[in-house]
Amino acid sequence: MFQQVPPTLGNQYEDDRVLRSYLRRVLPSDALRQIEPSLIEMGRLAGDQLYQLQLSDRLNEPRLTHWDAWGNRIDKIEVTPLWKLAERIAVEHGVVATAYERRFGPLSRVHQCALAYLFTPSTDIYSCPLAMTDGAARTLIACGNQKLIDRAVPHLITREPSEFWTAGQWMTELTGGSDVGLSETIAKHESNTDYRLYGRKWFTSAIGSQIALTLARPEGNPMGGRGLALFYIETRDEDGRLNNIEINRLKDKLGTRKVPTAELTLNGTRAELVMGTSDGVRNITPLLNITRLWNGISSVSLMRRGLALALDYATKRTAFGATLAEKPLHIDTLAGLQAESEAAFHLAFYVAELTGLSEAGEIDEESARLLRLLTPVMKLTTGKQAVSIASEVLECFGGAGYVEDTGLPVLLRDAQVLPIWEGTTNVLALDTLRAIGDEGLSKLQRTVKGLLETVKDSDLNEPSRVVLTAFDHAERWLTNARTVEPSISEAGARRFALTIGRTLELALLIRHAQWSQDHEADARSKAAARRFAQSGIDLIADHSLDDARTILC
């Protein structure tokens, strides 16, 4: 009788040509030699032990218990076996710590992102608490609050599981996650920097965290984002009692179902000011930059996981007398997905490089502006790509891709969160316009041209032309839109930001392709660049806002 063969995974580092080739380019060979054992080990865990547990843990979900047997309110969260193992592995392997130990200066962030990239797809989004933990450590350090740094940061960046703390990030309220300036949580002053918080937080992920950074409005402060202050909370006291926090319920979500995301009431929660009594939205920005980087790395890691499974399956599944891997149309389909994800990979890791430079204090002014601009661009571009690739990957499996116990549908459900949290596509597109400010795109244009400087292979001429033409169009569109009326640039912001993102992706892929050709005699990145160049880089269109209103009325 015919038997279907499921896809399998090998060592997720050793099998990943794109990651390995990239690391060979950006890391000095001595550094690569030193870190490679950590990546091989993480690749082994991700393809084997963690992946097997992920499959067997599929139906388990976190549980919230409100009351103990004796009538005491406990609001206890129990996470699943996969998450318990994921936490231990993450801590012992330094998936957060590596960025702070800085063994390789600014490139430690690249090393850490490579670990996170290998780790994430086998852990059902354990990357969520890690991202917020990393972001909280960075924020406390950036705010320079020595007391809180001494108290919390060693726990956030430890490699000792029994010492490890995770951090939550509680911003979103019922009034809105995008427009957080509307937040209603009130901070009542107690003494010095100590306050008590009263309000409701509407989305709080990884609610088992020991600490959280949150926003609240000190009494008497004006409305709007500037009137909010940034607070540090320890969620439980030494006896394990919650800090006047009620966990009302866990969200019943489409995906990320292993992540306990809660609705909370803060009812006199003890909190400490992190920095100043206002400007909380500005002060929490380092956290958002780090979680957006993690979001991008998670996006490319989920794309890679989907492709690793689909590529393997294509060699096993036969239809019409041959394996799928031999069918021209299936080859073409997979190649399109590979090119798209390879381009996305280079943008995500480019932002990791810039982040590392910034953290090590080695970034110049121009690169700092570039980082400010590319963080939202990268997050929004890769988030969208992750969803569309996950959807295509499921189709590559036919009906099996739609069946839960293959472990495949979770890829699509989990990917769908990536364009939503930490700034939706629209919100980040508008942020992209703010980041560009009055300066225009001339500096970014220099960067883009610089990326193409090394190109000498004539096969890369046409992709390079696509980059320059798309960029030129984006620049002309922005100048024109801003001259005519602000609502025009606002209405077209998403198409504009995605064009910038895709253009940068192509330019980075071209640069890598030339390097790979020169140093590895490998033409695969070049083929990916040629393919990606023809997949809709310039998304700017001449749609009028009046037409849009007409369609909707």
Ligand X SMILES: Cc1cc2nc3c(=O)[nH]c(=O)nc-3n(C[C@H](O)[C@H](O)[C@H](O)COP(=O)(O)OP(=O)(O)OC[C@H]3O[C@@H](n4cnc5c(N)ncnc54)[C@H](O)[C@@H]3O)c2cc1C
- Residues 6+ positions from 419 with CB-CB distance below 8 Å: 380, 383, 384, 386, 387, 425
The region of 18-26, 103-111, 170-178, 334-342 touching ligand X under the rule CB under 6 A is: 170-178
> Strand 211-218 vs strand 245-250: parallel, antiparallel, or unpaired?
unpaired
* Least separation in angstroms between CB 519 and ligand X: 41
202 phi and psi, to 5 degrees? -95, -30
Least distance (Å) from ligand X to the CB of residue 168?
Answer: 6
- Under rule CB under 6 A, residue 253 binds ligand X: yes
Cα torsion 406, 408, 409, 415 to 10°: value is 160
Residue 393 to residues 103, 106, 118, 314, 475, Cα–Cα distance (Å)? 37, 34, 19, 11, 34
Beta-strand (E) ranges in 182-275?
A: 186-191, 194-204, 211-218, 229-234, 245-250, 262-273
d(CA 92, CA 151): 21
The answer to whether residue 278 forms part of the interface with ligand X (CB under 6 A) is no
Interface positions, 46-105, toward ligand X (CB under 6 A): none
Q: Which is nearer to ligand X, 333 or 426 (CB)?
A: 426
Shortest Å distance, C-beta 287 to ligand X: 10
Q: How far apart are CA 337 and CA 314, in angstroms?
A: 14
Both tokens of residue 128? 């969520």
Q: Which phi and psi angles does 361 have, rounded to 5°?
A: 70, 25
Shortest gap between Cβ of 27 and ligand X (angstroms)? Answer: 33
| Residue 347: Cβ within 10 Å count | 28
At 255, the amino acid letter reads G
Which is nearer to ligand X, 98 or 169 (by Cβ)? 169
> x/- site string to ligand X, residues 177 to 216, per CB under 6 A?
xx------------------------xxx-----------
Q: What is the C-alpha separation between 273 and 228, in angstroms, rounded?
A: 11
State the nearest-atom distance from the C-beta of 494 to ligand X, in Å.
8
141 neighbors 167 (Cβ within 8 angstroms): no
Please give the Cα distance from 310 to 303 (Å, whole number): 11
- Residue closer to ligand X, measured from CB, 184 or 332: 184
| Closest to 427 in 3D by CA, of 281, 543, 276 | 281
324 or 418: CB nearest ligand X:
418
Minimal CB distance to ligand X: which residue? Answer: 177
CB-wise, 11 or 172, nearer to ligand X? 172
Q: For ligand X, which is the closer residue by CB, 174 or 360?
A: 174
Q: Which stretch binds ligand X (CB under 6 A): 112-120, 176-184, 394-402, 534-542?
A: 176-184
How far is 543 from 226, CA to CA, in rounded Å? 35
Question: Which of 112, 122, 261, 375 touches ligand X (CB under 6 A)?
Answer: 261
Q: How far is the CB of 543 from ligand X (least distance, A)?
A: 15
**Nearer Cβ to ligand X (233/455):** 233
- Give the interface size with ligand X as a residue count (CB under 6 A): 21
| Stretch 409-428 residues interacting with ligand X (CB under 6 A) | 417, 420-422, 424, 426-427
Residue nearer to ligand X on the CB measure, 122 or 214: 214
CB of 259 to ligand X, least distance (A): 6
Bridge partners of 232?
A: 213, 272
Smallest distance, Å, CB 129 to ligand X?
A: 9
Q: Does 172 bind ligand X (CB under 6 A)?
A: yes
Asked whether position 385 contacts ligand X by CB under 6 A, the answer is no
Q: Do β-strands 245-250 and 318-319 pair in parallel, antiparallel, or remain unpaired?
A: unpaired
Q: Does 338 bind ligand X (CB under 6 A)?
A: no
Nearest-approach distance from CB 42 to ligand X, in angstroms: 25
Residue placing its CB nearer to ligand X in the complex, 73 or 434:
434
Phi, psi values for residue 224, rounded to 5°? 95, 170
Burial of 365 (0-12, 13-18, 19+ CB in 10 A): exposed
Q: How far is the CB of 30 from ligand X (least distance, A)?
A: 39
Q: How far is the CB of 388 from ligand X (least distance, A)?
A: 17
In the list 81, 161, 176, 398, the residue contacting ligand X (rule: CB under 6 A) is 176
Closest CB to ligand X among residues 77, 427: 427
CA distance linking residue 503 with residue 537, whole number of Å: 6
Of positions 118, 171, 460, 467, contacts ligand X by CB under 6 A: 171
Question: What does the binding site for ligand X look like in residue numbers (CB under 6 A)?
Answer: 169-172, 176-178, 203-205, 253, 256, 261, 417, 420-422, 424, 426-427, 430
